[in-house]
Structure 1
Amino acid sequence: MAAAVTPSKNPSEGTPGTPPARPGYGRLLRTRGAWTFLLPGFAARQPFAMLTISIVLLVQHTTGSYGVAGAVAATTGVSMALCAPYVGRLADRYGQRAVLVPGVLVHTVAGLGLTALALAHAPLWALFAAAVPTGASVPQIGPMVRARWGAKLKGSPLMSTAAAFESVTDELTFVLGPLLATALCTGVTPAAGLVAEAGLTLVGGLLFAASRSTQPAPGRTGDGSTRVPHASALRVPGVRVLIAAFLGIGAVFGGMQVSLAAFTESIGQPGLNGVLYGVFAAGNMLSGLVCGALAWKAAPHHRLLVGYTALALTASGLWAAHSVPVLAGLGLLVGVCVAPALVTGYTLVDSLVPAGARTEAFTWLTGAVALGQATAVTVAGQLEDRLWDGAGFLVPAGGTLLALAVLLTLRSWLAGPSRGRTVARGVGHRAPAAVD
């Protein structure tokens, strides 16, 4: 009896002749085997948000310079952004476990090595040298989780819900991770943040890798039945457009972080920085939850254009805010507009990219956010130093407007290779084979 009932409880599978189930988080989390990768994945992705602040606090403590600390942290971010897509490509080709286990070990050793060098007051070149492998080996848990959802759901309408769920999880990670790292560095010892980051990476990463039954079959179509030729996700035109969009989203994150800190310091209330950024993050999380709970009728590429236009318009008003209430309100609106763009962008990967290249595609998007954020932090800081207070808010405006221009110009690239109802009927996994 149990065997006969179980399939109907799996939201990724439908019964022939019945309409697809309405998307919802309850149905998503009842997907068979989901918790075997969600729980270790949540633990393993916390270090991603802890790394930068942990390096800044430790290196500043040992060198006395925020400039040096920021440069070392930025080195890890750039290294991660450049190497992540190639890690994703290897995972698609050889399997997540084959790439994740050695990567976790390398990252743990590199992170602990950077910690030891900083405590030993090593030369700056040694810190930068250690920062490169530390960033390059950051485990790409988020993209790997998204690829597992794609393998489990296979064109189900729950894919948009899964993308929203992952967006909210990412945002929660970037709220909890820095708080944990800061508490450890200030309450225990300046090295505690990086040590905990390395420990969580090791334990969480190995547990995630141990969940072998849910990882996508390497080099095969979504159902694992047919081996397909390997091709880079970057060869898909729509992915290149999405990279531009996600660079703009990274500009929002980086520009907001620097500009909010500069604004609150300029008015003599630096403690409000965390409150204002928290309002922005809260808008992002709540909007992401709503996006995943709705049954959308509009095509994802149309939703992306509408959502990104709203993001660019709201981000363009930040520079004109001169009071805390106005800035808080605008920040909330920007956060509300970020989530739909992120969610829809990740959802589009399912229709644009063959199953054998999706992990790589997700890492390109994640890396684009990181690269956009690192660039925005640098540019916004220079604008705040050289121009007026609040000039850094021009970075989110400029980044999103440029990205919107790319989206509007190349919007036809986002339509995807397949149209109609084939994906909704559950046979969309055949399309990637035709593309390749």
Structure 2
Amino acid sequence: MASTVSDRPGYGQLLRTPGAWTFLLPGFAARQPFAMLTIGIVLLVQHTTGSYGSAGAVAAVTGVSMALFAPQTGKLADRFGQRAVLLPGVLVHAASVSLLVTLALAGAPLWALFAAAVPTGASVPQVGPMVRARWAALLGATPDRPASPLMATAAAFESVTDEFTFVIGPVLATALCTGVHPAAGLIAEAALTLVGGLLFAARRATQPPVRATRLPGAPRHASALSIPGVRVLAVAFLGIGAVFGGMQVSITAFAEEIGNPGANGVLYGVFAAGNMLAGIACGAIAWKSGPRRRLIAGYTALALTASGLWAVHSVPLLAALGLLVGLCIAPALISGYTLVEALVPGSARTEAFTWLTGAVALGQAGAVTVAGRLADAHGASAGFLVPLVGTVLALVTLVALRSRLLPTGVGRTVARGIGHRGPVTVD
């Protein structure tokens, strides 16, 4: 059944959910580092080595490490609780970032920076997925109740929050690195991780319960990646990561080429602002189509807008096209995260969210590496080819495997058990 304006709850009702603010505020601080880490590394290492390729490679090692370890972090959080994972994780991350900064400023060889980048990425706290899991625990379907209509609003709100961090994070990191010290962005990232992560972990009342349940027909503690729809979404989110990574490096190189490094933060901020504005709109609109159809439509628009980045050579045009690209990302992200609630049981949901977050990080890692090499060899315009290629390949996969994004038993409400799903809109 299609939603109508009258039955679509708004952000105000969502934020009045009991206990919401106790995890939203510290969670917002703790998720800033995800938006600051890559650009902070690129700016610091490029300053100390003079090479965008080397800077992108170090950032890529961090991203790959995060992509590999994030799902395991999510799986541990599902099994043992978020607090048990967060407390040691934020301490390790702060120490690892401190080591990376020290080595970079000391002129250490590239292999030493790679070695420090591994624990830096592996220990990035997965606060965004954990916040989404808390919303799902508060509002999602259980054997005793159907999913709240606020779930779709929560998915939109979280994407708005993510995009808001991508407005603030890169601009803040760039301002600190260019205006204070090349290492200031990473130092601020480590401080926010430590303080925000500890405060978030302290909010135990809203932590999802630890459940010793298993996926239907699967071994106990089977990976959420065993669900075909999650694998398809992970591929789609790889392409989104390629946009983030390619834009970060290529915009930085473009700003250097025109002799205005300060334009970097402004241009990336405009791109991220498009994300945020589209996210706000997605949460306010009463959609008549299902999330699968919206995902494909949004992704198609994303691939089309990203295809023109390489041909733009002026700041106003790049800002305008970057805004359009940003406007297309949020619908794809929100639709993908909304599909998770229908595809994945609650006992594996944090892990599923971290697979998607990890896919973004992996796509970003590959993109900063390739875009960095292309920017070094052929200029910033060549780096902008990375978002084009990444989104087109992911879109082809998404369209070809779209049938796997339909939840099992779609259109039926199961009375009891882990397979319970609330009614969903059928494409």
Q: Into which bin does the TM-score normalised by the smaller protein fall?
A: 0.7 to 0.9
Cα displacement string for residues 144-166 of structure 1 (whole angstroms, at most 9, x for unaligned residues): 01111111111222222111111
**Counterpart in the other structure of 2:338:** 347
**Residue 166 of structure 2: aligned partner:** 174
1:254 corresponds in structure 2 to: 245
Matched with 1:311 is 302
Paired residues for 1:167-316 under 5 Å: 167-219=159-211, 229-266=220-257, 271-316=262-307
1:16-57 Cα offsets, whole Å, 9 max, x none, are xxx995221101111111111101101111222222333344
| Cα deviation code 1:172-216 (max 9, x no counterpart) | 212222333344445544444333322222221111111111111
Aligned sequence identity (%): 75
CA distance in structure 2 between the partners assigned to 1:116 and 1:266 by the alignment: 28
Aligned with residue 331 of structure 1, among 303, 322, 335: 322
Q: 1:347 to 1:221 in 2, by over 3 A?
A: farther
**What CA distance in whole angstroms lies between the structure 2 residues aligned with 1:270 and 1:113?**
27
Other-structure match for 1:39:
25
Query: CA offset at residue 399 of structure 1?
Result: 1.4
CA–CA distance in structure 1, aligned partners of residues 115 and 187 of structure 2 = 18
Q: CA deviation at 1:60?
A: 4.8
Whether the 8 Å CA contact 2:168–2:269 is kept in 1: the answer is no
Q: Which amino acid aligns with 2:159?
A: S
Following the alignment from structure 1 to structure 2, what is the Cα–Cα distance between the partners of residues 184 and 120? 19
Distance 1:63 1:370, change over 3 A: same
Larger C-alpha radius of gyration, 1 or 2?
Answer: 1
Amino acid at match of 1:431: G
On the 8 A contact 2:56/2:372 being kept in 1, the answer is no
Distance in structure 2 (CA, Å) of the matches to 1:294 and 1:429: 32
Asked whether the equivalents of residues 240 and 360 of structure 2 are also in contact (C-alpha less than 8 Å), the reply is yes
User: Structure 2: which amino acid aligns with 1:161?
Assistant: T
Q: Structure 1 376/61 Cα, relative in aligned 2: closer, same or farther at 3 Å?
A: closer
Q: 1:389 Cα deviation (Å)?
A: 5.9
Which residue matches 1:431? 419
Paired with 2:383 and 2:114, the residues of 1 have a C-alpha distance of 27
CA distance in 1, matches of 2:182, 2:249: 23
Distance in 2, matches of 1:303 and 1:111, equals 38
**What is the DSSP-based 3-state SS (H/G/I as helix, E as strand, rest coil) of the residue aligned with 1:166?**
helix
1:25 aligns with 2:11: yes
User: Contact (CA 8 Å) 2:274, 2:324: kept in 1 or not?
Assistant: yes
Question: Residue 244 of structure 1: CA displacement?
Answer: 0.8
One-letter amino acid matched to 2:269: G
Comparing 256-265 and 329-338, the one that deviates more: 256-265
Bigger shift: 233-242 or 87-96? Answer: 87-96
Question: In structure 2, the residue corresponding to 1:144 is in which secondary structure?
Answer: helix
Contact kept, 8 Å, 1:233 with 1:360, in 2: the verdict is yes
Code of the residue aligned with 1:111 in structure 2: it is V
Structure 1 unaligned residues grouped into runs of 5+:
1-18, 223-227
1:403 aligns with 2:398: no
On the 8 A contact 1:171/1:281 being kept in 2, the answer is yes
The one-letter amino acid paired with 2:116 is: A
Conserved? CA contact 1:258–1:381, under 8 Å: yes
Deviations 1:360-401 (A, max 9, x none): 111111111111112122223334444576233322222111
Distance in 2 of aligned mates of 1:190 and 1:330: 29
CA deviation map 1:105-142 (0-9, x unaligned): 22122222333444455454333222211111111101
Query: What letter corresponds to residue 256 of structure 1 in structure 2?
Result: M
Within 2, Cα distance between the matches of 1:171 and 1:377?
19
Which residue, 324, 336, 347 being the options, matches 1:356?
347
Measure, in 2, the Cα distance between the counterparts of 1:191 and 1:114. 10
Choose between structure 1 and 2 for higher RCO, CA contacts under 8 A separated by at least 6 residues.
2
Which deviates further from its counterpart, 339-348 or 74-83?
74-83
Q: CA deviation at 1:347?
A: 0.7
Aligned-partner SS, 2:384: helix
Contact 1:422 1:428 in 2 (8 A): no
TM-score by length of 2: 0.86
Is the Cα contact below 8 Å between 2:372 and 2:383 reproduced in 1?
Answer: yes
Alignment partner of 2:360 out of 362, 365, 369: 369
What residue number does 1:5 align with? none
The 1:391–1:171 alpha-carbon spacing in structure 2 relative to 1, beyond 3 Å, is same
CA distance in 2, matches of 1:63, 1:207: 36
Distance of aligned partners of 1:101 and 1:333 in 2 relative to their CA distance in 1, 3 Å threshold: same
The total of aligned residue pairs comes to 407
Contact 1:74 1:374 in 2 (8 A): yes
* Cα distance in structure 2, aligned partners of 1:62 and 1:288: 37
* Letter in structure 1 aligned against 2:419: A
| Alignment partner, residue 161 of structure 1 | 153
Q: C-alpha separation between the residues in 1 aligned to 2:376 and 2:101?
A: 31
- 1:139 is aligned to 2:106: no
Name 1:103's counterpart in structure 2: 89
